[in-house]
Amino acid sequence: MACWLETWLSHKAGEVRVSTLEGYRQIVQNHLLPTLGGERLDRLQPRHVDGLHKTLQAKGLSHRMVEYAHVLLHGALDYAVRLERLPRNVAALVKLPRKLESKERLYWSIEEGTRFLQHLERTNHRLYAFFYTALSTGMRRGELCGLRWSDLNPEGGSLRVGNAVIEVKGGKQFAEPKTPASKRTVVLSSKTVKVLEAQKARLEQEKEVLAGHPKLDKWIEEDLVFPNARGRALDSSTLSHTFRKLCGEAGVRPIRIHDLRHTHASLLAFHGVPAKVISDRLGHTNVGFTLRVYTHLYDAQRKEGALELFGSSAC
């Protein structure tokens, strides 16, 4: 199976985006190969696929990730059937495990978000602007890491999401955002504009410091709004580690960086912002997806819809 999965990945390279292919490769390496890599392609049975499901569940992976792994395996075997390497696709004979009740999405309250940002501002942390922008715009981590100064329109109070940094084998790469809907204009608050202006001034100071020390690594100019200390794109694992550390220092619940996006959307929903506006702001493909993801946040609004519209007349 290991050789065939590599063959299938090479075939998909001409059909999908680089970032999508890298996602496929990670699922193959991390989940398919450890379980099925030693099996022969022509001897694969439904019990092997069922065993894959059970193994991934035992590792604590989400239902969505188990489903992704199944879909990729199904695709690789379907390609083998089309090339007449197999008589049938055994993955088509195995049902996915029942989806367990989904866990509640994590997000901060306005008090927690404020406490976190105040800690970063008080300590003059160089990632203050990154996390402030994450909370105030709901942008994805990759979109923030790929944001360039040329994407900003401070006079108009907006920015254009047109780039994202993705992790690929051997390093990082700039690519288009996740979906066509992800290419969007995000309106900024006046405070966010000021934070970004201060970020630009801070980067200029950092460049001057490096220029004055010939023994230090030189600044690599990539026009990034949130670069590392040498001008290059931020590393995702370093970001995650730093974020967890900062959560502890600020005394707030530890969540993922992606949950800052959920926090932004949640606070907008609590303030009565229409789902369509939130959907456009987050770059979701359609408003139906936004409503499904954040359905619990609209319960109060649904109750408000049960108004007594017509008063009863006296008999």
Q: How does pLDDT run across 148-181, given as a tens digit for each residue?
A: 999 999 999 999 998 888 877 667 788 887 778 8
Nearest CA-CA partner of 281 in 264, 294, 298, 295: 264
Q: What is the DSSP letter of 99?
A: P
Across the range 48-65, mean pLDDT stands at 88
Nearest CA-CA partner of 177 in 152, 224, 142, 206: 142
* Class of CATH domain 2-93: mainly alpha
Above 80 in pLDDT, residue 27?
Answer: yes
Above 50 in pLDDT, residue 315?
Answer: no
pTM exceeding the 0.95 threshold for the entire prediction = no
pLDDT in tens, 221-234: 999 999 999 999 99
Contact 116, 246 (CB under 8 A): yes
pLDDT in tens, 236-282: 889 999 999 999 999 999 999 999 999 999 889 888 888 899 999 99
Q: How many other CB atoms are found less than 10 A from the CB of residue 29?
A: 14
Residue ranges per structural domain of the chain: 2-93, 110-299
Of residues 205 and 270, the one with the higher pLDDT is 205
Q: What is the CATH number of domain 110-299?
A: 1.10.443.10
Across the range 38-47, mean pLDDT stands at 94
**H-only helix segments in the chain:** 2-12, 18-27, 33-36, 46-58, 63-82, 110-122, 128-137, 141-145, 190-211, 236-250, 258-270, 275-282, 287-293, 299-304
Across the range 134-143, mean pLDDT stands at 95
Structure tokens that stand for 121 in this block: 């501002």
pLDDT-derived band at 306 (thresholds 50, 70, 90) equals: low
Structure tokens that stand for 112 in this block: 């927690």
Q: Which residues are within 8 A (CB) of 34 and not within 5 positions of it... i.e. 6 or more apart?
A: none
